[in-house]
Amino acid sequence: MTEAHWHDLGAIEQLKSTTLQQIIVGRVPIALSYKDGKFGAVSGRCSHAGGPIGHGSLKGDYIVCPWHYWTYHRISGEAEPGYEDTVPRFDLEEREGHLFVNLMPASKRHHSAHEPHPLTREIRRAPGPLRVIGVSTTGMDRRNPRYSTSEALLGVALDHAKTRGAECKLIRLSELKFRTCEGFYSKGAGACTWPCSITQMDSTDEMTAIYEAFVHWADVALIATPIRWGNASSLYFKMIERMNCIQNQITLHDRVLIRDKVAAFIITGGQDNIQSVAGEMMMFFGELGFLFPQFPFIAHSRGWTAEDMEQNVAAVQASEELREGSRALVSRCLDMATALLAAGPGPKTTERGGRKANKA
């Protein structure tokens, strides 16, 4: 190897003061570690999704990638026993108090073959009738059932959609076991993958039901929520935080996952703030790519001073107007979905609207 391949990383005593660090030499990221009197240098780019390994942490002699927690031996670059993935390692030399690295890798990168996740398949609408997914975000205890105003009106809407020949499914978020968002996107846009990194790593995570329904199955999505302290339910937010990976495909790859799909909302609460809740929900689902019919939500509230919640439930139970509103809402959605399908496939890419493109 020629001398041109060697690079001076700096004074050894200074480098010893940091257990693990990410060093960029030209365009080469290096995860440099120091432990038990010995330096190690491996590629600073994870073989999984390109995470900055040197910004991770040490677990024994293994570096834990900060993005999705893949691990590599800090000297050999090999994964923990039982895993085949490796990152390149680099030779080091100590000369006159300085540490030099040979930028020609001493080993090769290896990323073991994995079957693609089923959710990554091509998005293609299967033939058949219109399909409606209803998502209830109320957090009630299913072991002790009670009347939910939002879920009851959602049921009315789904029953009416069936009379129009639509195929319908109901998802109760309270019955799904799925982890909260762990903020991979906050570490780097490329750390938020499709499907969600949690979904890929945890086969028991049931967020797959939501991804499957919204991206691959439904033509219409009806989301029902109670109002909790002026906001949608906590389960609603738990769900949409995990749906960031759908929108992030636009950020990373200009790939629109939600195509030719309609969304609408049912919002009920004993107290007010309906417009704010509806506006937030419309903003989020609009950013995913959903379209809205004219008058895209129905709602009920008895106002800020209405603390007699039992009267709120009774009011909804007695209101034929709200039930008729639910039927009309889903009818508007079905009409719009019919028109969208007749018009042909929608765009698979979109203008960035002023946002900077991301080449990750």
Torsion angle, CA of 315/321/322/324, rounded to 10 degrees?
150
- What average pLDDT does the segment 148-157 reach? 97
CA atoms of 269 and 247, how far apart (whole Å): 29
**Residue 54 to residue 308: CA distance in whole angstroms:** 57
- How far, in Å, CA of 264 to CA of 298, rounded? 9
pLDDT tier for residue 354 given thresholds of 50, 70 and 90: low
pLDDT computed for residue 167 by the predictor: 98
- Per-residue model confidence (pLDDT) at position 360: 45
Is the bond preceding 66 in cis, omega lying within 30 degrees of 0? no
Tokens representing 85 are 């993935």
107-121, 198-212, 241-255, 302-316: the lowest-pLDDT one: 302-316
Query: Any long-range contacts for 7-11 (C-beta under 8 Å, 24+ apart)?
Result: 7/100, 7/101, 7/103, 8/98, 8/99, 8/100, 9/98, 9/99, 9/100, 9/101, 10/98, 10/99, 11/97, 11/98, 11/99
Q: What is the pLDDT, as a whole number, of residue 346?
A: 84
To the nearest 10 degrees (0 to 180), the angle between helices 320-343 and 149-163 is 50
Which band of pLDDT confidence, cut at 50, 70 and 90, is reported for residue 84?
confident
Q: Which residue has tokens 């049921």?
A: 155
What's the chain's average pLDDT? Answer: 92
Where residue 353 falls among pLDDT bands split at 50, 70, 90?
low
Does residue 310 surpass a pLDDT of 70? Answer: yes
Classify domain 118-343 by CATH architecture: 3-Layer(aba) Sandwich (3.40)
pLDDT score of 307: 73
Q: What is the pLDDT of residue 114?
A: 78
| Residue 134: band (very low, low, confident or very high) from pLDDT cuts 50, 70, 90 | very high
Domain segments of the chain as ranges = 3-102, 118-343
Helix (H) / strand (E) containing 331: helix 320-343
Does the domain at 3-102 match CATH 2.102.10.10? Answer given as yes
The average pLDDT across 235-252 equals: 95
pLDDT surpassing 60 at residue 73: yes
| CA dist list (Å): 291 to 252, 258, 279, 281, 283 | 22, 9, 14, 12, 11
| Token couple for 87 | 């990152």
As a whole number of angstroms, the distance between CA 247 and CA 242 comes to 10
Residue 144 has pLDDT above 80, yes or no: yes
Give me the residues paired with residue 95 across strands: 98
| 3-state DSSP of 267-323 | EEECCCCHHHHHHHHHHHHHHHCCECCCCCEEEEECCCCCCCHHHHHHHHHHCHHHH
Angle of CA points 36, 39, 40, to nearest 5°? 115
Strand 167-172 versus strand 220-226 pairing type: unpaired
Q: What percent of the chain has pLDDT over 70?
A: 96
Contact partners, residue 6, CB within 8 Å, separation at least 6: 93, 100, 101, 102, 103
User: pLDDT band at residue 357, thresholds of 50, 70 and 90?
Assistant: low
Q: Which residue has the higher pLDDT, 313 or 340?
A: 340
N residues, the chain: 360
What is the predicted pLDDT for the residue at 3?
Answer: 62
CA 240, 345, 154, 134 torsion-angle sign: negative
| pLDDT band with cut points at 50, 70 and 90 for residue 294 | very high
pLDDT grade for 352, boundaries at 50, 70 and 90: low
Give me the phi and psi of 225, to 5 degrees please: -145, 145
